[in-house]
A and B are shown apart, each in its own frame.
Chain A
Amino acid sequence: DAKTTQPTSMDCAEGRAANLPCNHSTISGNEYVYWYRQIHSQGPQYIIHGLKNNETNEMASLIITEDRKSSTLILPHATLRDTAVYYCIVRLSYNTDKLIFGTGTRLQVFP
């Protein structure tokens, strides 16, 4: 059911920017791109979402390509605590639509 494709795993050095890509080539005009992460043994945590403009909050930045077929989540200064599985999800903007999690990208931040 997942409509996104992400690399299985990535590594990043502590203090460096982590750039996590996501392909969503079949995204429709009214679907948003959401990012969540799941740190080991915890519940998923919302990070950021966007429709077509780039977005930034205290956790991350989201860059969406002009054709909206792909996006990149950027953690500007990765820390060891950012080690987690990151999920890119596309969904419609109302509650009757499901958050469908794919396999995500396992990000390992190393010292």
Chain B
Amino acid sequence: DTAVSQTPKYLVTQMGNDKSIKCEQNLGHDTMYWYKQDSKKFLKIMFSYNNKELIINETVPNRFSPKSPDKAHLNLHINSLELGDSAVYFCASSQDRGFMNTEAFFGQGTRLTVV
């Protein structure tokens, strides 16, 4: 009954490969996010989707492309992986209630290691 689930939990891959990380939430939320946590433990937002529409797109290389097939899913596809992409990637979701935003629920993270 995990609220926000990400797969895989660990991903080790070679430079130049293309990989995807999947995220699903069963909370009925309409907003989903991707965050990146680097080796210095700094958490930085990458993307935000609201009702399958891209809302926030931070300065992220074009090699990163989010895809939201429906409100419950936000997948992250990464092309031509580089060493610097090694990090922990967190998916999150929250509910927009108009005048009051609710808290965000985070997944357990995907540790990506590029070798």
Interface set of A (CB-CB < 8 Å, partner B): 32, 34, 36, 38, 41-46, 49, 85, 87, 91-101, 103
What residues on B are CB-neighbors of A98 within 8 Å? 45, 48, 56
Distance between Cα atoms of A93 and B101 in the complex (Å) = 5
Distance between Cα atoms of A87 and B41 in the complex (Å) = 12
Q: How many contacting A-B pairs (Cβ < 8 A)?
A: 60
Question: Beyond A92-B101, A95-B94, A96-B56: 6 further Cβ-contacts under 8 Å?
Answer: A43-B92, A44-B90, A49-B103, A93-B100, A95-B31, A96-B48
Contact (Cβ within 8 A) A42 B50: no
Query: Which residue of B has the minimal Cβ distance to A44?
Result: B106
Contact (Cβ within 8 A) B56 A85: no
Q: Mark B1-34, 1 if CB is under 8 A from A, else 0.
A: 0001000000000000000000000000001010
What residues on A are CB-neighbors of B56 within 8 Å? 96, 98
Residues of B in contact (CB 8 Å), total 28
Distance between Cα atoms of A45 and B35 in the complex (Å) = 14
* 6 shortest interchain CB distances as A-B pairs: A43-B106, A46-B103, A101-B43, A95-B96, A95-B31, A44-B106
Most buried by B among A36, A46, A49, A100: A46
Answer whether residue B108 sits at the interface, using C-beta atoms and an 8 A cutoff: yes
Across the interface, A96 reaches (CB within 8 A) one of B35, B55, B90, B99, namely B55
CB proximity of B40 to chain A, nearest CB, Å: 9
Contact (Cβ within 8 A) A101 B98: no
